[in-house]
Amino acid sequence: MPHVNLLRALPKTKRNIQKRAEGKDPAVIAIAKQYGEMYWDGPREYGYGGYRDDGRWHPVARDIIAHFGLKPGMRVLDVGCGKGFLVKALLAECPGLEAFGLDISLYALMHCAPEVIGRLHLGTAEKLPFPDGSFDCVLSLNTIHNFPRPRAVIAMREIQRLSRGRAFVQVDSYLTPQQKEIFESWVLTAEYHDFPDGWLEVFAAAGYTGDYDWTIIE
Average pLDDT on 180-200 reads 92
What global pTM score does this model have? Answer: 0.93
Q: Which residues contact 132 (CB under 8 A, 6 or more apart)?
A: 161, 162
Residue 18 C-alpha from the chain's centroid: 24
The closest of 151, 143, 150, 159 to 209, measured between CA atoms, is 159
40 falls within a domain: no
Which helix H or strand E contains 172, and what residues bound it? strand 167-172
Q: What is the mean pLDDT of residues 85-109?
A: 98
- Residue 47's CB is within 10 A of a number of other CB atoms, namely 23
Spatial CA neighbour of 183 closest among 10, 15, 7, 28: 15
Of 190, 161, 151, 152, nearest to 77 by C-alpha is: 161
Phi-psi region at 143: left, alpha or beta (left = phi > 0; alpha = psi -120 to 50)? alpha
- Asked whether residue 22 is domain-assigned, the answer is no
Q: What are phi and psi of 4, to 5 degrees?
A: -130, 150
CATH number at residue 159: 3.40.50.150
Whether pLDDT at 72 is above 80: yes
Residues of the chain above pLDDT 70, percent: 94
Domain count, the chain: 1
Give domain status of residue 13, yes or no. Answer: no
Grade residue 18 by pLDDT with cuts at 50, 70 and 90: low
Domain that holds residue 184: 56-215
Q: Is residue 176 part of a domain?
A: yes
Position 14 in a domain: no
Question: Does residue 51 sit within a domain?
Answer: no
In a domain, 46, yes or no: no
The residues, ordered by sequence, that sit 6+ positions from 106 with a Cβ below 8 Å of its Cβ are 122
Per-residue pLDDT at 109: 98
> 10 in a domain, yes or no?
no
How high is the pLDDT of residue 40?
95
